[in-house]
């Protein structure tokens, strides 16, 4: 029994290790898109992030007097995810503080690898967002000339979030939204690339679609039935109103790091619910919380805060589902026992 348990634990470590390697690998195409839109600064930021994540891992191993695991890419993947959620003009100290918060507060405070209840990347991003909102939620325009080291003089804006929050419509073509040609975090705009990354993770069996799809469907339904631009549909025909609502869904789903979070944040092995029904409920709750943060909050990327909120009960969702199955199974057993089927078998 002990050997079987050890084998299961080793298999789990191999599976999660492969997941983090794939996350690091899939950040490369997003980085290429970022470099195309914003120049070489995203490349320097991501290189700095990987170095910071690796140094944090080595430092923790030294302080805790444990052997450094060279094949553990979790800190590097968290650092890359945090970086791609940032604007291309973010200062170096803000990025460093976010990575340190994710690695130390989000991960190591709770015991390190596999023991953390909250997604470390979401923790690091939330710390930076609350501490330096003027750095995290102001984005440069695509194709802007951004210096490699000091980007403080680059013009930035938060046009999309301000427009949606005020009940207005985004004046950007569908093609530009899909390609990421608008002011947004570095790695969250290219919807085509993000969809391909999600497909790759699913084909490699690194993620399950239940959490991501339930998250996107829930958020999309909330936008469809309760769009922020509802006043603009007054007096319009049914067909025109339907098209308008679908456009609102498109605008909300393709902005605010929604697709990025569905692919790179929602399915983290240790913070997402593990059973199918639990994953569906997990995605539904994250979707509802996200739209609540976006509608009534002050931050555009409310999905990271929603993930942290639902992370606190993801374990409870798993335990509740197990108990529910046990109750159903015991109920069937007693029913068969009462009718005599159990004795006949």
Predicted confidence (pLDDT) per residue in 327-343, tens digit = 777 766 555 556 655 44
* Rounded mean pLDDT, 235-262: 84
What are the residues whose beta carbons fall under 8 Å from the beta carbon of 100, sequence distance 6 or more?
Answer: 52, 56, 124
Is residue 345 one of the residues assigned to a domain? no
Mean pLDDT across 227-255:
78
CA-CA distance, 205 to 208, in Å (whole number)? 7
CATH of the domain at 74: 1.10.3430
CB atoms within 10 A of CB 11: 10
CA distances from 152 to 83, 132, 147, 155, 156 (A): 17, 14, 9, 8, 9
How many structural domains comprise the chain? 1
Residue 85 lies in a domain: yes
Going by C-beta distance under 8 Å and a sequence separation of 6 or more, which residues neighbour residue 259? Answer: 188, 191, 194, 195, 198, 216, 253
pLDDT on residue 343? 47
Residue 241 or residue 233, greater confidence: 241
Residue 116: inside a domain: yes
Identify the domain containing residue 175 by its residue range.
3-339
Range name among 80-89, 123-132, 284-293, 330-339 with the lowest pLDDT average: 330-339
Least trusted range by pLDDT, from 127-131, 191-195, 273-277, 334-338: 334-338
pLDDT at 110: 84
pLDDT digits (tens, 9 = 90+) for 179-237: 889 989 999 989 999 999 999 999 998 888 899 999 999 999 999 998 887 665 555 66
Percent of the chain with pLDDT over 70: 89
- In a domain? residue 344: no
Give dist(CA 64, CA 67) in Å, integer: 9
* pLDDT at residue 334, rounded to an integer: 54
Looking at residue 302, its pLDDT comes to 87
Average pLDDT, the chain: 86
Which whole-number Å values give the CA distances from 171 to 163, 197, 324, in the listed order?
Answer: 10, 27, 48
- The whole-number pLDDT of residue 232 equals 58
């Amino acid at each position: 029994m002990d050997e079987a348990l050890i084998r299961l634990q080793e298999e789990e470590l191999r599976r999660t290790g492969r997941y983090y390697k794939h996350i690091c690998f899939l950040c490369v195409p997003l980085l290429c898109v970022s470099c195309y839109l914003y120049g070489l600064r995203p490349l320097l930021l991501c290189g700095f992030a990987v170095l910071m994540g690796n140094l944090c891992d080595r430092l923790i191993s030294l302080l805790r007097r444990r052997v450094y695991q060279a094949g553990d890419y979790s800190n590097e993947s968290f650092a890359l995810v945090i970086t791609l959620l940032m604007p291309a003009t973010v200062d170096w100290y803000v990025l460093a503080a976010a990575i340190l918060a994710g690695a130390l507060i989000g991960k190591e405070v709770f015991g390190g690898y596999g023991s953390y209840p909250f997604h470390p990347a979401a923790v690091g991003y939330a710390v930076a967002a609350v501490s330096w909102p003027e750095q995290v939620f102001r984005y440069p325009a695509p194709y802007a000339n951004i210096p490699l080291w000091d980007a403080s003089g680059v013009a930035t804006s938060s046009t999309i979030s301000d427009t949606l929050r005020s009940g207005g419509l985004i004046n950007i073509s569908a093609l530009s939204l899909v390609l990421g040609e608008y002011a947004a975090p570095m790695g969250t705009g290219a919807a085509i690339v993000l969809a391909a990354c999600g497909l790759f993770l699913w084909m490699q069996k690194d993620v399950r679609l239940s959490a991501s799809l339930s998250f996107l469907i829930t958020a999309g339904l909330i936008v469809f039935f309760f769009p922020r631009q509802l006043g603009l549909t007054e007096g319009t025909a049914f067909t025109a109103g339907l098209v308008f609502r679908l456009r609102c869904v498109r605008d909300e789903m393709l902005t605010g790091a929604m697709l990025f979070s569905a692919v790179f944040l929602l399915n983290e092995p240790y913070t997402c619910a593990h059973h199918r029904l639990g994953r569906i409920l997990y995605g539904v709750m994250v979707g509802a919380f996200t739209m609540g943060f976006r509608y009534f909050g002050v931050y555009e990327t409310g999905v990271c805060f929603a993930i942290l909120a639902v992370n606190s009960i993801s374990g409870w969702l798993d335990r509740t589902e197990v108990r529910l199955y046990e109750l159903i199974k015991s109920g069937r057993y007693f029913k068969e026992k009462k009718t005599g089927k159990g004795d006949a078998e």
